[in-house]
């Protein structure tokens, strides 16, 4: 182990490459040797198989096969030929008497011939004469032709693979080993140079001009390492900035929630105080007339209704902000929602309602939440009826494309001051605070409208009508919704 540590990187790399190279070479030589030997065996078997098939054709055609065997040239000298029945009995053998031969049904090549049509064995010792043969057997319809070549020195030499390529491969391997030595030496020097560079970089030492990295792949990698380090430092800075931005965003969310909590507390004070005063008066021993008692009870109910609406609106905004992914979506027909609102307005007292004029020349269906979409139109309608002092509400379809629809909601009332337009969608913002509370508003209606539009992937803009009144232009995505951030 101590010796291995003392070896330079170049020498260790060369030894590993040398061992790997020669392992592959030796495996290839062995594989090539066996493959060539197998090829020669298959070639010899094919020749014997062709002779067997020809012999079987002569037998099946009824020609005297003994004369054919004796007169015609054989593919190999000293070729032993046997004709065997399918039951394993030797019918003919050109070298041994038939009556001296036992049943051949248990011979391996005969078994393969019967089962597969052909079979052969290399170097099997004959049970009849004790010699080793190269057997090849082929099955016909009624008999089996088997040929065999004595496994002599000439046959062994024929089957032996050519060893010339082994010498060629060894020569090539030696040349490759020499080339590998020089390649690994150059690579090792560059690695050692990179190691010295890393050591100096760790200590913060300066670098001489001679310590430049070579203008090759390794040098390019080294320069990339320096660039990647610089990029890493920049990434860390960007990450820190993003982290600070996330902290600021989280702090802003906390501030908004705290502000919302404070606003809610402020909004709750008036109705709670009024309810408390009314209840204390009712519970006191003061004699009150029935008319005064009913008035106090009515005030309690009015303020309680305001509290209920406030809690409902806050719950709706919170659900859109914190659980938008849990809100169910379905196919919603906007025409039906507008028609339903129109019917609701039709049964209201005449002095409280406005005329709703809808201009929807075609059916508009989107994928969304029916409750939230309904809250858009209802809150805009309630806002117009409560504060516009107008007579008519106009709802128009401006655009209806496959991806989105654009809708305009407007009234013919008095509108608002231009500087107040950007703040209309703020929570608890009121143009006329005293008047809004008298109307029972929670200050969250238009905030709910904006959140519902954003939930459905749209945008909303408020503006004054040139002829008087307030106008809201908003879009709704039909198939894709954008969660509220």
Confidence of residue 163 (pLDDT cuts 50, 70, 90): low
Say what the pLDDT of residue 157 is.
Answer: 56
Residues 445-476 have pLDDT tens digits of: 788 888 889 888 899 999 999 888 999 999 99
The pLDDT of 92-102, averaged and rounded, is: 86
Asked whether residue 270 carries a pLDDT value surpassing 70, the answer given is: no
Lowest mean pLDDT among 206-220, 299-313, 396-410, 439-453: 206-220
Confidence of residue 6 (pLDDT cuts 50, 70, 90): low
Task: Single out the residue of 449, 362, 357, 370 nearest to residue 399, CA to CA.
Answer: 362
Q: In whole angstroms, what is the distance from residue 476 CA to residue 459 CA?
A: 8
For CA atoms 255, 260, 263, 268, the dihedral sign is negative
Q: What is residue 211's DSSP assignment? A: G
Residues 359-417 have pLDDT tens digits of: 999 999 999 888 888 888 988 998 898 888 889 999 999 999 989 999 999 999 988 88
Task: Single out the residue of 272, 273, 294 nearest to residue 282, CA to CA.
Answer: 294
Q: Is 482 helix (H, G, I), strand (E, B) or coil?
A: coil
Name the H helices within 323-403.
Answer: 334-346, 370-387
Residues 274-283 have pLDDT tens digits of: 788 788 888 8
Say what the pLDDT of residue 484 is.
Answer: 45
Asked whether residue 205 carries a pLDDT value surpassing 80, the answer given is: no
Chain centroid offset of residue 206 CA: 47
Task: Single out the residue of 238, 230, 306, 239 nearest to residue 272, CA to CA.
Answer: 306
Pairing outcome for strands 90-93 and 80-85: antiparallel
What element of type H or E holds 383?
A: helix 370-387
Task: Single out the residue of 84, 77, 78, 82 nearest to residue 96, CA to CA.
Answer: 82
Confidence of residue 319 (pLDDT cuts 50, 70, 90): low
The per-residue DSSP string of 78-90 comes to: T-EEEEEETTS-E
Confidence of residue 437 (pLDDT cuts 50, 70, 90): very low
The pLDDT of 102-114, averaged and rounded, is: 88
Burial class (CB in 10 A: 0-12, 13-18, 19+), 289: exposed
Q: In whole angstroms, what is the distance from residue 14 CA to residue 19 CA?
A: 8
Residues 118-147 have pLDDT tens digits of: 888 876 777 776 777 788 899 988 899 999
Q: In whole angstroms, what is the distance from residue 48 CA to residue 44 CA?
A: 6
The pLDDT of 141-155, averaged and rounded, is: 78
Higher pLDDT, 329 or 183: 329
Cβ contact 12:4 at 8 Å: yes
Say what the pLDDT of residue 419 is.
Answer: 87
């Amino acid at each position: 182990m101590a010796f291995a540590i003392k070896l330079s990187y170049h020498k260790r790399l060369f030894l590993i490459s040398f061992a790997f190279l020669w392992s592959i070479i030796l495996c290839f030589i062995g594989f090539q040797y066996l493959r060539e030997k197998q090829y020669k065996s298959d070639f010899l078997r094919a020749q014997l198989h062709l002779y067997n098939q020809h012999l079987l054709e002569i037998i099946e055609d009824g020609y005297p096969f003994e004369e054919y065997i004796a007169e015609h040239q054989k593919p190999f000298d000293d070729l032993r030929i046997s004709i065997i029945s399918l039951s394993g009995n030797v019918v003919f053998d050109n070298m041994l008497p038939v009556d001296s031969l036992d049943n051949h049904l248990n011979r391996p090549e005969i078994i393969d011939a019967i089962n597969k049509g052909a079979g052969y064995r290399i170097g099997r010792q004959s049970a009849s004469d004790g010699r080793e043969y190269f057997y090849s057997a082929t099955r016909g319809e009624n008999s089996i032709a088997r040929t065999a070549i004595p496994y002599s020195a000439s046959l062994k030499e024929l089957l032996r693979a050519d060893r010339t390529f082994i010498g060629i491969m060894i020569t090539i391997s030696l040349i490759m080993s020499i080339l590998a030595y020089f390649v690994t030496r150059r690579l090792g020097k560059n690695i050692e140079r990179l190691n010295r560079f890393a050591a100096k970089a760790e200590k913060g030492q300066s670098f001489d001009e001679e310590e430049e990295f070579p203008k090759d792949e390794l040098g390019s990698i080294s320069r990339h390492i320096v660039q990647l380090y610089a990029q890493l430092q920049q990434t860390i800075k960007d990450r820190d900035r993003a982290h600070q931005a996330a902290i600021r965003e989280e702090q802003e969310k906390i501030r908004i929630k705290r502000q919302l909590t404070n606003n809610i507390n402020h909004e709750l004070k008036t109705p709670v105080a009024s309810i408390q005063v009314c209840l204390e008066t009712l519970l006191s021993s003061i004699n009150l007339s029935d008319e005064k008692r009913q008035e106090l009870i009515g005030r309690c109910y009015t303020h309680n209704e305001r509290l209920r609406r406030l809690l409902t609106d806050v719950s709706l905004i919170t659900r859109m902000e914190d659980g938008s992914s849990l809100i169910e979506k379905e196919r919603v027909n906007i025409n039906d929602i507008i028609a339903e609102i129109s019917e609701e307005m039709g049964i209201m007292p005449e002095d409280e309602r406005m005329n709703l004029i809808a201009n929807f020349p075609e059916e508009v269906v989107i994928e969304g939440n029916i409750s939230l979409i309904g809250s858009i139109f209802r809150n805009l309608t309630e806002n117009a009826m409560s504060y516009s002092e107008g007579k008519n509400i106009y709802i128009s379809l401006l655009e209806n494309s496959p991806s989105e629809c654009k809708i305009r909601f407007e009234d013919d009332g008095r509108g608002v001051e231009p500087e107040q337009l950007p703040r209309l969608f703020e929570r608890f913002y009121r143009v006329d605070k005293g008047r809004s509370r008298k109307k029972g508003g929670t200050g969250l209606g238009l905030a709910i409208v904006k959140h519902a539009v954003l939930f459905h992937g749209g945008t909303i803009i408020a503006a004054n009508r040139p002829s008087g009144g307030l106008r809201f232009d908003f879009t709704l995505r039909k198939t894709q919704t954008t969660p509220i951030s």
